[in-house]
Structure 1
Amino acid sequence: MLFDVLRMGSRVAALAAMAVVAATLVMAEPAPKKIGIIGAGNIGSTFGTLWVKAGYDVLFASRHPEELKPLVEGLGPKAHAGTPAEALAYADAVFLAVPYKAYPEFGKEHAAALKGKVVIDAGNATAARDGAELRDEVDKNGIGVTSQKYLSGARIVRAFNAANFKVFVKNAGRPEPRMAIPIAGDDPKAVETARTLVTDAGFDPVVVGELEAAKKFQMGQPGFGLELSAPELKEKLGVKP
């Protein structure tokens, strides 16, 4: 009888373990297949091109999508052009690379579409371009927290903002050790999506922390403008190995 009880207990434990695995698989977010690039300037076109070459379907978006025709035609059938609204509807994850002064209005205009959307936030705030008031807010509260305020409801991950696009072009897919890109976000699944996109663009992701920690690598801070390997960047930013 004792043997039967033990055997029954083993079966229950096994079933419980299987249930946990099944739940994990259900909860896991699939890797993104479609990327929307909102703001197809230097930084947007750089990473959009890298993702097309990595096999993603990429929609480059601007208010004047007809101007993107040479870019998408040069990249082949996996590249498309459209409006920001079309990119939000099309993409599994959105890469936002517009001037930071556009964030407040962009967040209001697309509030419904942004809700629950993974947004890779690559913007930086400068006083000269975006206004002293917005730059002061970023300096006071941190750029990750500020972005979340204006893009309320989005699942934001800060990434791809910590260097000039020329640095990324030079280092994409370089031999080991690859250049590290710091990322920060509050949503673990969105962070994992960003990790995948960083890796597939030819870099090594370094998760610095939640959105609050994004201030460590925002413009003007010690983590900005670096071309380090992952171990070097972790040491620089105080990230545990």
Structure 2
Amino acid sequence: MRSDTPHRRHLLGLALGLGALGLGGRAEAEGAAPARIGIIGAGHIGGTIGGLWVKAGHPVMFSSRHPEELKGLVEGLGAGAKAGMPAEAIAFGEAVLIAVPYKAYPELSKAYGEALKGRVVIDAGNATQARDGDLYTEVRANGIGATSAKYFPGARIVRAFNAANYKVFAQNAGRPAPRMAIPIAGDDEAALDLVKRLISDAGFDPVVVGSLKDADTFAMGSAGFGHELSAPDLRAKLGLAP
């Protein structure tokens, strides 16, 4: 097994911190069957949001090319969390959260694009010029929703959990009313319904902005990015109907 690293220590601390949020068993308490969730990329966003789902009663498989590095995270979260390879997480999940740097999307598409067809894919990626180069240029030209759909054709993509830093999600999950709103966008109504439920279970209020082409309104660098607003205030910020 690999030696301890700052990243592994962060994940362990994250798991222990999420345990204090009091979100446990929300899915079961509200009578809905838990949803199996696979996560590709168990870094800051994947670890934070996945941990919230475990605490809400959903079984989650975190994945990495080195799943042994996720031992601290899954042990800290308890029996609802497990670790595996990305292909295992895709096969496991009714929904799959993609939480890797956007520059990895072309490689991810080649390796797992076929397996993701027909899956509900929660796309949390952001494109940045300094890191993503030509891919950032493509996003600027075509829109981030359309670009993600190009790399994962046939996937039921919902853009979500990309509009804030992971620390904002960790600090605001399950806060007293009004809860923090999460903007989402997608073209598949059933996929949107599942993601709305998962957002609620994680301790937030979902706000459907529109179809994938509307995802640019809350992409990094847009006026809709980086807010900790309630659902009514976010709708007003984005010019949506109350």
Q: Is the TM value for this pair above 0.5?
A: yes
Q: Give the TM-score, by structure 1 length.
A: 0.86
**Where do 4+ consecutive residues of structure 1 move more than 2 Å?**
none
Partner residue, 2:89:
87
Partner residue, 2:236:
235
Aligned residues: 211
Using the TM superposition, give the Cα deviation of residue 106 of structure 1 relative to its aligned residue in structure 2, in angstroms: 0.8
2-structure distance, mates of 1:148, 1:161: 16
2-structure distance, mates of 1:78, 1:85: 19
1:110 aligns to what SS in structure 2?
helix
Partner residue, 2:36:
34
Percent identity, please. 68
> Does the Cα contact within 8 Å between 1:143 and 1:218 map onto a contact in 2?
yes
1-structure distance, mates of 2:205, 2:46: 19
2-structure distance, mates of 1:111, 1:171: 33
2-structure distance, mates of 1:229, 1:196: 17
> Does the Cα contact within 8 Å between 1:31 and 1:193 map onto a contact in 2?
no
Using the TM superposition, give the Cα deviation of residue 111 of structure 1 relative to its aligned residue in structure 2, in angstroms: 2.3
Greater Cα radius of gyration, structure 1 or 2: 1
Q: Which runs of 5+ in 2 are unaligned?
A: 1-31
1-structure distance, mates of 2:206, 2:95: 17
Q: Which amino acid aligns with 1:40?
A: A
Structure-to-structure mapping, 1:207-218, within 5 angstroms: 207-218=208-219
Q: Give the TM-score, by structure 2 length.
A: 0.85
Q: Which runs of 5+ in 1 are unaligned?
A: 1-29
Q: Which amino acid aligns with 1:104?
A: P
Partner residue, 1:176:
177
Partner residue, 2:104:
102
**Is structure 2 residue 193 aligned with structure 1 residue 192?**
yes
Partner residue, 1:23:
none
Structure-to-structure mapping, 1:123-138, within 5 angstroms: 123-131=125-133, 133-138=134-139
2:179 aligns to what SS in structure 1?
coil
1:44 aligns to what SS in structure 2?
helix
Partner residue, 1:166:
167
2:69 aligns to what SS in structure 1?
helix
Using the TM superposition, give the Cα deviation of residue 59 of structure 1 relative to its aligned residue in structure 2, in angstroms: 0.3
> Does the Cα contact within 8 Å between 1:39 and 1:62 map onto a contact in 2?
yes
2-structure distance, mates of 1:140, 1:224: 19
Partner residue, 1:67:
69
> Does the Cα contact within 8 Å between 2:96 and 2:119 map onto a contact in 1?
yes
